[in-house]
C-alpha cells in the first residue's frame, strides 16, 4: 500500500520508519527522486535517482545518515517543492 504524506509529517514518518518500509520523494518535475529506507543498524539509506543525468554514474547516488533530522535537511536542500509517498 502506498500512501501520500504531507511535508509537515515527514520528520515524524522518518522517525517511525520500519526496516520493511520506505519513503519516496519526487521533485515537482519528477526528474529526480529520493528513496529512503533504514538498514539493520538503524541508519537511513538514501538513494538519489536523477532520470535526466542517465549518462553518468551519479544518477544513482547512495548516502547514509544517522538521524531523521539529517535526512530532512538533505531533502529540503535537494528540492524546492516535492511530493512524499510512504510504502
* Listed residue (49, 53, 52) closest to 78, CA to CA: 49
Q: Determine if the pTM surpasses 0.75.
A: yes
* 10 pLDDT above the threshold of 80: yes
Laid out side by side, the sheet with 60-65 consists of 3-5, 82-86, 23-27, 32-38, 44-50, 60-65
Tens of pLDDT, residues 30-87: 789 999 999 999 999 999 998 776 555 555 789 999 999 999 999 999 998 999 999 9
Tens of pLDDT, residues 17-46: 999 999 999 998 878 999 999 999 999 999
Amino acid at each position: 500500500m502506498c500512501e501520500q504524506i504531507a511535508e509537515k509529517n515527514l520528520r515524524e514518518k522518518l522517525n517511525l520508519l520500519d526496516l520493511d518500509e520506505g519513503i519516496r520523494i519526487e521533485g515537482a518535475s519528477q526528474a529526480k527522486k529520493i528513496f529512503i529506507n533504514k538498514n539493520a543498524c538503524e541508519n537511513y539509506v538514501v538513494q538519489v535517482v536523477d532520470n535526466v543525468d542517465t549518462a553518468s554514474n551519479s544518477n544513482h547516488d547512495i548516502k547514509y545518515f544517522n538521524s531523521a533530522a539529517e535526512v530532512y535537511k538533505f531533502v529540503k536542500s535537494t528540492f524546492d517543492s516535492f511530493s512524499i509517498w510512504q510504502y
